[in-house]
Amino acid sequence: MDIASAKQQIKNTVQIYLQKDALGRYRLPLVHQRPIFLLGAPGLGKTAIMQQVADEMGLGLVSYSMTHHTRQSALGLPVIVEKEYGGKRYQVSEYTMSEIIASVYDCMRTTGKTQGILFLDEINCVSETLSPAMLLFLQYKVFGGHQIPEGWVVVTAGNPPRFNKSVREFDAATRDRLKVIEVEPSYEAWKAYALEHGVSRSVISYLDIRPEDFYKVETTVDGLTVVTPRAWEDLSEILQYHEELGLAVSEELTTQYLQNKQVARDFAIYYELYQKYRQAYNIDAILQGVWDEDVLTQARSAKMDERMSLVSLLLEAVFLQMERCTLRHDALRLIVAALKAQRGTLDVPGDALTALAGLEDNWRAEANKAPSARQKVYLDLLSLTAQWHGELSGSTPFSALKACYQRSVADLQAEVAETQKKLGDLLRFLQEAFGKGTELSMAVNDLTVAPIATAFLGQFLSTDYFAASRDLLLHRQSEQLLHQIDLTGLV
C-alpha cells in the first residue's frame, strides 16, 4: 500500500489498541497488541508519518533507531541486589531500566501525555546478541524485566534486505508476532503530502510531467542510483533557500540529492526552464488581470510540459498568498482568545507594551508545546505583534491592543480580497487561453485537494473557484466549505 494508506492503518490500529472498557482497562490484552512493522524501501516517509500520527492523535512519541543498540543499552545493565527467601538473604542479579523504557517515562513527564507511540526504526538491523530479547519484547513489551507503560503502542520499521546490507531477515517466530504493513512508493500519495507541507512547486510540476522519476533505487552500469521521496523533499528545502538568497541552481546541486545522473540533469534543465517561464509569462501581471493576445498566443502554442509549468507557476503565487491569509487568520484567533480571557486584568490603566510582552511570553511557551504544523501560526502571531510595539496607544492596555487587533483585521480583509481577485484572474486566464481543458482542470483539481487552498476557501470562499469547479464536475458540496469566519470577535 502507499504511505498515506499505511498512515491511516497505523491510526486505526492505535485507536483500537487504546480503547478502554467501562472499568478503564484496555480492552485488547497487551499480549494481543501486535507491534506494527512498516516494511518498505528507504526514503518513503515511514519515519516522517510517525510524528504526523502522534500530532494528529494528540499522543506522545519516542523514536529510537535500533542500529546502534547493544544488548546492554537496550535491556539495561545487570546489577546485584540482596533479597530474602525463606529467612535467608541471597544476592540476585537484576537489570537497570532500559534506556528505551526510561525514555518513554521521560516523555510522559515532560509532555504530560500518558499515552503514546514507541517507534523503533531499523528493527530488523538489531545486533545478533539482542535478537533473542526482541521476541520477548514484541510479544510482552518487556525489555530487561521492565515493561513499557500501559497506553503506549509499539510501531517498528525496517527496509527489505535488498536495500540494506545490515538487515537480518526475521525468522517465522519473530514475524508471527508482528502486524506487517508493506509500503510501496506512490507519487499520487506523496503529492498530497507535498501540497500540504509546502514542497516547491517546481518539484511538484516536474514530477507531474515525469512521475516515473519520483522513485528510482536500482543498480545500473553506473552503479547504485538512489532517488527517493526524501531526496525530493530535501532538495525542495534547499531550493527555497537558494531562491531566497539568490544562489544559482545547477546540476552540481541537484546531483547532491538526486543520485541518478539522468534524473538530476533533467530536473536541473527543467528548473532553469521553470524560472524562465516565470519571466516569459509575467506571472505577476497575469494575477493582476493583465495579459494581451500575445501572451494568450504564446500559451496556446506551448507544449504540454510548458503549459503544466505555467499552471504550476500561477498556483505557486496564489498558494503563497492563501497561506499568508490563513496563517494570519489563525494568529488573530489566538490573539482575540487571549484578549478575551485576560480582559479583566488588561482593561485597567497600565503599560500596554509590558502587557503585550507578557502575552508574547505566554504564546512562546504555547508554541514550544504545539505540534510542528501549528508552530507556523505562532511564528506569524509573534511577527505581527512585533509590529504593534510602536503602535500601542490607548487609555488601557486592552484598548491599545484592541485597536492594533482591529487594524490587523482590516489588513487581513484587504489581503483576502486581493487573493480572491488573483484566484479569479488565474482561472479566467486559463479559461481564456485553453478553454475548459486539461489546464483548467489541473488548476481546479489542485485547488480542491491542496490543504492550503481548501483552508483558504473554507474560511474566505471564492465564487470564481466554485463556478469553475462546478463547470468541471469537480465541485463538492459547497455547504462543507461555506461557513463564514467572524474576524471581529472582540466583545
Round to whole Å and give the CA distance between 97 and 88.
27
Statement: the pTM of the whole predicted model exceeds 0.85: no
For residue 19, the 8-state DSSP code is -
What are the angstrom distances between the C-alpha of 440 and each of 273, 302, 310, 429, 474? 21, 15, 11, 9, 11
Containing 354, the helix (H) or strand (E) segment is helix 352-369
99-129 pLDDT tens trace: 888 889 999 998 889 999 999 888 887 777 6
Q: Residue 73's pLDDT is what? A: 66
pLDDT score, position 473 = 64
pLDDT tens-place string over residues 373-404: 789 999 999 999 999 998 998 889 999 999 99
Largest CA distance in the chain: 101
What the block records as the C-alpha cell of 190 is 506523496
Sheet of 152-158: strand order equals 60-65, 116-121, 152-158, 36-40, 179-183
Which residue stretches of 228-351 are H helix? 229-245, 251-254, 261-280, 283-286, 293-301, 304-341, 343-346
Burial class (CB in 10 A: 0-12, 13-18, 19+), 395: exposed
**Residues of the chain where predicted confidence (pLDDT) is lower than 70:** 68-74, 129, 473-491
pLDDT of 488 reads 47
Query: What was the pLDDT predicted at 478?
Result: 41
- Helix then strand then coil, in percent of the chain rounded to 5, is 60, 15, 25
C-alpha distances out from residue 295 to 203, 310, 424, 433, Å: 25, 12, 18, 9
SS3 call for 5: helix
Cα–Cα nearest to 122, from 173, 85, 159: 159
Residue from 114, 93, 95 nearest 105 by CA: 114
- Of 57, 60, 50, 35, the residue nearest 114 (C-alpha): 60
Which residue spans within 159-236 are E strands per DSSP? 179-183, 216-220, 223-227
Run of H or E including 173: helix 172-175
C-alpha cell at 283: 506571472
Instruction: Please name the residue that has the C-alpha cell 485488547.
Output: 28
346 residue type, one letter:
L
CB 356 within 8 A of CB 401: yes
Between strands 60-65 and 78-85, the pairing is unpaired
User: Rounded to an integer, what distance in angstroms lies between the CA atom of residue 332 and that of residue 7?
Assistant: 32
Predicted pLDDT of residue 69: 66
Give the orientation angle of helix 261-280 with respect to helix 201-209, to 10 degrees: 110
Phi, psi of 20 (to 5 degrees): -120, 155
Residue 63 backbone phi and psi in degrees, to 5: -115, 140
Say what the pLDDT of residue 482 is. Answer: 45
How many contiguous H segments (helices) and E segments (strands) does the chain have? 21, 11
